[in-house]
Amino acid sequence: MFGELCELSKKDTHGPLVEQFLNIHESMKKASADINTLIHSKKSDAKDSKRDASLWVQAAVETNLSKFSLYTHEEEKDEKGIKKGENFHYLVIENPPQKIETEHYSTKKVTAPKAKSSRSRQLLSTTKPKSGLRDADNLLEKLISFSRAWFLDYLEDSLNNGFGFGLRSDESSQIAVLLGQLKRVNQWMEDAFRGDCVDDKIEKLRKKLYRFLLDHVDSAVSHR
């Protein structure tokens, strides 16, 4: 998409190009936010694993330290033998609380009973690690930064030559469309460059943008 946008900049299609860039930039920012959400959820999963371990100990205490075993349920495979789904851990309490005293004080060797349908089970699931999220986030941030720099250069060149518009009356409709997009550009600059991100180049571009809007607003109004 961004490559197509660069090709489009070589043509006299300022209005559509500005609109497409703003839409692409918005999509990239949304994707970046989604990736960051997944990264933070991964950290939460690690904390949840520690919490699950404490819950297992608590469950053992509450059942008078009955025997329990932790089993892993293997992933199901499809017809091609490819694993699907997630791994699940099963916590199985081997003995009911009322039998624990007999087992502790008996001198005979006690064999743990086999699993029964009446056993108490607790299903605990753990999410597979998400790989490559940070690399994807770093790559996306670089693309966002590069696309911003490219668009600022394009905007500066276009403002310097008045976006290629003359004084012909048949250009009024095109100017009206472009002005609507440039208002979005002004808001985009406000949102994208704040605080330390604002430099002399950004301020100069804003002034040029305001001047262009003021110089052509009459043409847009007369067209309406």
- For the ranges 27-31, 89-93, 118-122, which has the lowest average pLDDT? 118-122
List, for residues 148-162, the tens digit of each pLDDT value.
999 999 999 989 888
What gap in Å lies between CA 89 and CA 124, rounded to an integer?
Answer: 5
Bigger pLDDT: 93 vs 216: 216
Q: Is 95 left (phi over 0), alpha (psi -120 to 50) or beta?
A: beta
Bigger pLDDT: 159 vs 172: 159
Boundaries of domain holding 22? 2-37+132-223
Domain-located, residue 44: no
Bigger pLDDT: 30 vs 195: 30
Q: Which residues of 107-118 are buried (b: 16+ CB within 10 A; e: fewer)?
A: eeeeeeeeeeee
DSSP one-letter code for 111: P
Domain-located, residue 83: no
Bigger pLDDT: 169 vs 6: 6
DSSP one-letter code for 156: H
Domain-located, residue 150: yes
Domain-located, residue 214: yes
Domain-located, residue 29: yes
207 has a pLDDT exceeding 80: yes
Number of domains the chain is built from: 1
Contact indicator for 75, 89 with CB cutoff of 8 Å: no
Domain-located, residue 75: no
Q: What is the mean pLDDT of residues 123-148?
A: 75
Domain-located, residue 70: no
List, for residues 85-116, the tens digit of each pLDDT value.
455 555 555 555 554 444 444 444 545 555 54
Domain-located, residue 32: yes
